[in-house]
Amino acid sequence: MASHSFFLCTLLTFLYLYGITAVDYQVTTDVPNTPGGIRFTNEIGIPYTKQIMGTSNNFIWSVIFQQKNPSDQKPIDSVHAYIEEFKDPIGITWGNNNINFSSLYIAGFNGDVKREFTSVMYHEMTHVLQWDGEGTAPSGLVEGVAEYTKLKANLPQPGFAKPGDGDRWDEGYDVTARFLEYCDGITPGFVAELNNKMRVTYNVKYFEELTGKPVHQLWQECNLDLVGVIRPRSCQSFGFITFKVEQSLRDTIEGMNGQSLDGRIMAQSGGCGDCGVMQEAVDMEEAMNVETVVMMVDRSYYSRGCDWRS
């Protein structure tokens, strides 16, 4: 008995010192005989769900939030996932440590449902473990952090926002995840630091404290660096991108040359009528002769028959 207690004590000391907190994972299938419940059992299963709850938990603590010290972590000793029948949303985190996953979504999903389930679980597990300023952080930011986890775990779904997509930094989900990725590029560990700051409350000034720049400036620069300032002209979907550094434009042209965009091959030069995007870009650069070089990017310009010169 004494040796048993000694072993337990040593184990707990080891776990504490190395920041490994034991979390108990529970999974309940409330609708095992429905199409979604049957598909869950056949293609995902309870053992796999428990496994990814554990791996996502460790990934979020170590990589996303970088909380080696358990006292920095949200105190969670168990997480319970339920497969339930409801329509929307796909998954929801409730209470402190419960996740509901839609069996109807599992039943209707077209494709690799195991990967999709994993991706959503990484999102929901982030909600379980993240700080949100005790409810004061903008919901768009909270959802953005959860999607950021998905992005960093290489689990984004098809159609996930590209860098620079979206209209607002706190638009939420994948758009905000891309913005957080940009901020993390400026200040490595940004998302971890921001999360730690949001333990008790939220303040938009956290962005400035961590990067030296206010959030609106970061958003503006994120778009400048990654996509550019779109200045629509006669066609809604048509605009210009102004790069601050000429080399950025050169690199972009180089990178886009020969790539396919909406079925058209982009070419840096040449007379092909169907591959004019890059050609126009170069022509415009010369025509406008501006210091910050201008480039055109338009996904539906040709198909709509718009004329940028009008």
Least distance CB 133 / Zn ion (angstroms) = 16
d(CA 264, CA 247): 25
- Rg for the chain (alpha carbons), in Å? 24
d(CA 243, CA 7): 62
Other C-beta atoms within 10 Å of 275: how many? 19
Burial of 212 (0-12, 13-18, 19+ CB in 10 A): exposed
Pairing label, strands 78-84, 24-29: parallel
Least distance CB 169 / Zn ion (angstroms) = 17
Q: Would you say 188 and 214 are in contact if contact means Cβ atoms under 8 Å apart?
A: no
Nearer to Zn ion, 129 or 294 (CB): 129
Least distance CB 176 / Zn ion (angstroms) = 11
Nearer to Zn ion, 128 or 210 (CB): 128
Residues in the site for Zn ion, rule: CB under 5 A? 143, 146
| CA torsion through residues 107, 111, 112, 118, sign | negative
Nearer to Zn ion, 132 or 280 (CB): 132
Least distance CB 121 / Zn ion (angstroms) = 11
Nearer to Zn ion, 116 or 143 (CB): 143
Least distance CB 147 / Zn ion (angstroms) = 8
Nearer to Zn ion, 191 or 295 (CB): 191
Least distance CB 123 / Zn ion (angstroms) = 6
Q: Would you say 23 and 77 are in contact if contact means Cβ atoms under 8 Å apart?
A: yes
Q: Would you say 48 and 114 are in contact if contact means Cβ atoms under 8 Å apart?
A: yes
Torsion of Cα atoms, 112 then 115 then 116 then 122, to 10°: 180
Tell the residue number behind the tokens 């070419």, with chain if given.
267
d(CA 252, CA 247): 8
Least distance CB 181 / Zn ion (angstroms) = 17
Nearer to Zn ion, 81 or 146 (CB): 146
Least distance CB 217 / Zn ion (angstroms) = 27
Nearer to Zn ion, 146 or 295 (CB): 146
The tokens for 239 are 């605009």
Nearer to Zn ion, 143 or 184 (CB): 143
Torsion of Cα atoms, 113 then 114 then 116 then 117, to 10°: 110
